[in-house]
């Protein structure tokens, strides 16, 4: 099973795998790499806010029947465009050192590394886009990644050159500005994706496989799909409307003709549509589009914590009444969270009274809240509810270096705990790239690969900081607390610069 991007080349569809097994982008064929090099704000008239939904198309016609699908399509088709992107790469011909190859390819080959004649190779991809403002088109970032040339074709057979205003790989959105006379181009109205209900009818418009503009119909199958591993920030609408390669960046509209999503990926075994497609909701896309329009980049809110999902085993180990919320596994020093009093082991239940059930929901809530804004967190700490006000800062452009997997030499394993331990010496701290502020813990240098510890996901090179919420300073501390524990054990582990809680089942 795979998740695909849906960019189709003009003549041949080649599926591109996403990082997460099982997902293909709806627009994935000859998808190009990242960054166009044009991600800087363009000069022009002041940006206008995106158009709001219009009540011009009623849900019920005058004859009392439901809204005609053809009427909806006629309204939105002029706002959906096809996008072709081209990237030129210069490749040097490989030298042939073997005399066997020289016999077939002639003399002059293999005269030394890098001595072939460079040649150009043009890579093309097709996708879709939606007109959202005066000459502005939103699409998926992977449609225009590292493109040297971007062209936009409208429904009335006009073609335009376009330049990238800005892109946001973390949500897979990009904004283009059409060059030339944009008279007659019709921006679509953005709908409120939060109003969608399961079972609502939606239409998907785009250019699948490069065959031309196409309309398909389905329903909203699910909402708030996150933690799929497709993008860094996910809150997808799932639909069974047919979405195929080439649909990426196209429109998902409701029965009032309002844009409620940007089609981006499909779940497929074959590379074609199987009725599981994903769209970025308009309520998530709108602030990103406007930020790209006004700043050429996206500015996100930032807490400064490491988080992890809270399952039933973890909830029991932490003596929590339920497994709702997101667990804070670490708090970075001098960050908004640290200044507000957030602690490791806190469970964040809601942001501004909106419940958060997954790590994806929490990240989206904080990111979209913006910078220089105070949010109210409801936290569960030691069985009690705590309210904290956090003044968010701007997310750093580069995340902290997470290091790489490093392990200590093998040694004798203590059978009672299934591990071999070493003190955290200055030499090991340097070797394992442990942050300087960490001054406690013991290092797992070896473990039983078939034991409880390995099954829980611990590995050589992990630094154990706590056992059942009690600090560990030496191997003897860990052995004592381990043997004194009667059931499952809650372990706080430092790995690659970040901490995580792990439950070892015994």
Closest by CA to 129, choosing from 90, 161, 173, is: 173
Instruction: Go through 236-271 and write b for each residue having 16 or more CB atoms within 10 A of its CB, e for each that does not.
Output: bbbbbbbbbbbbbbbbbbbbbbbbbbbbbbbbbeeb
Set 79, 128, 167, 172: catalytic member: 172
Q: Which fold has domain 1-47+66-105+114-298?
A: Thrombin, subunit H (2.40.10)
Set 128, 221, 248, 282: catalytic member: 248
Do 301-394 and 419-504 have matching folds?
yes
Out of 1.10.10.10, 1.10.760.10, 2.30.42.10, 2.40.30.20, the CATH code matching 419-504 is 2.30.42.10
pLDDT for res 10:
45
- Domain locations along the chain: 1-47+66-105+114-298, 301-394, 419-504
Set 79, 142, 282, 408: catalytic member: 142
**pTM (global) more than 0.75:** no
Closest by CA to 205, choosing from 248, 157, 147, is: 248
Q: What is the dihedral of CA 196, 199, 200, 205, to 10 degrees?
A: 100
Q: Which fold has domain 301-394?
A: Pdz3 Domain (2.30.42)
Over residues 115-164, the pLDDT tens digits come to 555 566 666 778 999 999 999 999 999 999 888 899 999 988 899 999 99
Is 248 in the active site? yes
Is 221 in the active site? no
Is 354 in the active site? no
Residues in the chain with pLDDT values less than 70: 1-67, 89-123, 270-271, 397-413
């Amino acid at each position: 099973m795979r998740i695909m991007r849906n960019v189709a080349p003009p003549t041949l569809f080649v599926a591109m795998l996403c990082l997460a097994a099982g997902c293909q982008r709806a627009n994935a064929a000859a998808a190009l790499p990242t960054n166009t090099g044009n991600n800087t704000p363009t000069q022009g008239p002041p940006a206008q806010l995106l158009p709001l939904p219009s009540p011009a198309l009623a849900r019920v016609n005058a004859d009392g029947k439901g809204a005609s699908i053809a009427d909806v399509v006629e309204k939105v088709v002029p706002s959906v465009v096809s996008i072709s992107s081209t990237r030129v790469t210069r490749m040097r011909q490989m030298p042939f050192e073997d005399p066997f190859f020289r016999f077939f390819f002639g003399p002059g080959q293999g005269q030394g590394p890098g001595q072939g004649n460079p040649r150009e190779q043009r890579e093309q991809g097709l996708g879709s886009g939606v007109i959202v403002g005066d000459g502005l088109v939103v699409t998926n970032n992977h449609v225009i990644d590292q493109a040297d040339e971007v062209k936009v074709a409208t429904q009335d057979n006009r073609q335009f050159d376009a330049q990238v205003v800005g892109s946001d790989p973390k949500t897979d959105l990009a904004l283009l500005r059409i060059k030339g006379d944009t008279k007659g181009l019709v921006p679509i109205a953005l709908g409120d994706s939060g109003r969608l209900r399961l079972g609502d009818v939606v239409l998907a418009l785009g250019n699948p496989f490069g065959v031309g503009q196409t309309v398909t119909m389905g329903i909203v199958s699910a909402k708030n799909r996150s933690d799929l591993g497709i993008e860094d920030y996910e809150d997808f609408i799932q639909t069974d409307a047919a979405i195929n390669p080439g649909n990426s960046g196209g429109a998902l509209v409701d029965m009032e003709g309002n844009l409620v999503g940007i089609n981006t990926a499909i779940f497929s075994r074959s590379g074609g549509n199987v009725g599981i497609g994903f769209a970025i909701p308009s309520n998530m896309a709108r602030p990103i589009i406007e930020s790209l329009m006004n700043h050429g980049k996206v500015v996100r809110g930032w807490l400064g914590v490491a988080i992890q999902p809270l399952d039933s085993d973890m909830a029991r180990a932490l003596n929590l009444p339920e497994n709702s919320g997101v667990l804070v596994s670490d708090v970075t020093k001098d960050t908004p969270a640290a200044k507000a009093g957030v602690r490791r082991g806190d469970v964040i239940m809601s942001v501004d009274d909106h419940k958060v059930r997954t790590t994806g929901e929490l990240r989206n809530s904080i990111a979209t809240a913006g910078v220089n804004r105070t949010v109210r967190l409801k936290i569960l700490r030691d069985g009690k509810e705590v309210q904290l006000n956090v003044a968010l800062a701007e997310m750093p452009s580069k995340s902290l270096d997470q290091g790489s997997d490093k392990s200590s030499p093998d040694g004798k394993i203590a059978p009672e705990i299934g591990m071999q331990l070493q003190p955290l010496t200055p030499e090991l701290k340097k070797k394992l790239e442990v942050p300087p502020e960490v001054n406690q813990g013991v290092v797992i240098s070896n473990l039983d690969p078939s034991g409880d510890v390995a099954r829980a996901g611990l590995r050589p090179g992990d630094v154990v900081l706590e056992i059942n919420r009690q600090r560990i300073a030496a191997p003897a501390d860990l052995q004592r607390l381990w043997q004194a524990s009667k059931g499952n054990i809650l372990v706080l582990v430092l790995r690659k610069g970040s901490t995580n809680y792990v439950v070892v089942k015994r």
